Every structure is written in C-alpha cells, then in structure tokens.
Amino acid sequence: MRNSRSQRNIREILTSIWNIISAWLWPEVCPFCGKVSSQGICTICRKKLEMLRIREPRCMQCGKPIRHVEQEYCHDCMHTRHHYDQGLSLWLHKAPVSTSIYQFKYHNQRRYGIHYTEELIRCYGHMIKRWNPDLIIPIPLHKKRRKKRGYNQAEIVSRELGRRLQIPVDEKSLVRRIATSPQKILSHSERKKNLRKAFALKWAVYPASTVLLIDDIYTTGNTIDAAAEVLKQNGVEKVYFLTISIGQGY
C-alpha cells in the first residue's frame, strides 16, 4: 500500500513538471480550434461548446439528450439491459468536439486531457461526489494498440481527474485481452459480439464497491457495458461512467 502511494505521488510530481515544461515550450492553444489562447478554450469555441453541451431532458441511465421531459430513458436504454448503473457525458459528438477528440486520441495532443478534465469537474463534480467512487478506472486499450499509439487517452483523463479529486486511479487491474476491431466500423449487433469477453479483471473479488469508468466517447455503450459486466461479476456493486462526448439520443 505504501509503495503504491509513493508511486502515485511520484507520478503526480512528474505530471506537474511535464505540464510546466509543456507550458514553457509550447504556447497554450484552444483544444477545439488549435489557435493560440491564453485562456485554454477560446471564446468562440466556448460558445460552440455551449450549443453542444448535454442538458436536460436527458436519459436517466446513459445521459443522452432526449426530446421530451416526460421520457425517462432514451430508446436504446428502454430496450437494453445495461450492466452499468448510470453515466454522463459533456458534449454531443459533433464538430468541434469530434475533431478535438480525434487530435487528442490519434495525434498526441495529450494536453487536451487537462481541459476535458476541467470541464468534467466543472459540470459533474457534484455528481461524482454523489456517486462517491472508491476507484477510477480508464477503459483499457489492448497492448498492441497502446504500443502503436503510445498512450491511452482514457488514462490521461483518469489520472488528471483522480489527482484533482483525490480519488485513486487503477490502470492495471482491468485489461483488454482481445484485440477487437474498431467499434466505429461495426453495426450495433457486431459491436456487442466484438466486445464479448474482450475484458478481464486480475482480481477474483475486486477490492472496491463503487467504480467510475472513464472513456472518451459513448456511442451504443457496448464498451462501457462490457467493462461494467466484468467488474460486477467480480464483486463491484455500482459502476458509473463519464465520457467527453456522446451520440444523439432519440
């Protein structure tokens, strides 16, 4: 326990040093348009983001926007048994959010994760406190994909969220044991089949009762569901999620 705490402290110090060096070597840019902006998200993009922000009415389970206040759940959640308990996302997955996440995910724009985390805390800090997670777990990449990309974008947000809210982050226990095809190229049924038995847990009984999963995008929820199912099969009672963006509900 002492060793893991020391490692976490060292990681936090190194992260802080890297952030200082990055700010000195490269000017701050808006993560949504790429233009220099001392305030991070620039004024123009901030206005665009407000148009894409997820507000009520939204699905009580996955958090997708829905058309009518009288609805409690989106069409998908009404017809699907999810293994997670509840989740929330910041914005609809449309430009400039989609282009920003693409840069974050595939073009080494790791610093964007700091801005996403700040927005997650600003909008959903109260919900995270209500959920009261014992641990934050990023959705893992398969080792081949991680090696090719060089990093896991979900881990970047998880570490920053955990550091700011003083919640432990577990990046090791949940693993992706099957190198699945990219979800975006598959149909809904193919996505479920693609993720069947994709995840595994290193613990027979997981030492946490409430877990917060972090990922970049929520589409059908199959990835979050597959991870949540494994966690619950191993003793976790409640599983929540946060993502940066989400698809449109109906």
CB 172 within 8 A of CB 193: no
Give pLDDT tens digits for 85-107: 999 999 999 999 999 999 999 99
SS (H, E, C) the chain: CHHHHHHHHHHHHHHHHHHHHHHHHCCCECCCCCCECCCCCCHHHHHHHHHHECCCCECCCCCCECCCCCCCCCHHHHHCCCCCCEEEEEEECCCCHHHHHHHHHHCCCCCHHHHHHHHHHHHHHHHHHHHCCCEEEECCCCHHHHHHHCCCHHHHHHHHHHHHHCCCECCCCEEECCCCCCHHHCCHHHHHHHHCCCEEECCCCCCCCEEEEEEEEECCCHHHHHHHHHHHHCCCCEEEEEEEEECCCC
Asked whether the predicted pLDDT for residue 19 surpasses 90, the reply is no
**Strand 135-138 vs strand 199-201: parallel, antiparallel, or unpaired?**
unpaired
Per-residue confidence at 190, pLDDT binned at 50, 70, 90? low
Give pLDDT tens digits for 233-244: 999 999 999 999
- Closest Cα to residue 23, out of 97, 114, 87, 84? 114
Asked whether the predicted pLDDT for residue 185 surpasses 70, the reply is no
If one compares 147 and 178, the residue with the highest pLDDT of the two is 147
Asked whether the predicted pLDDT for residue 1 surpasses 60, the reply is no
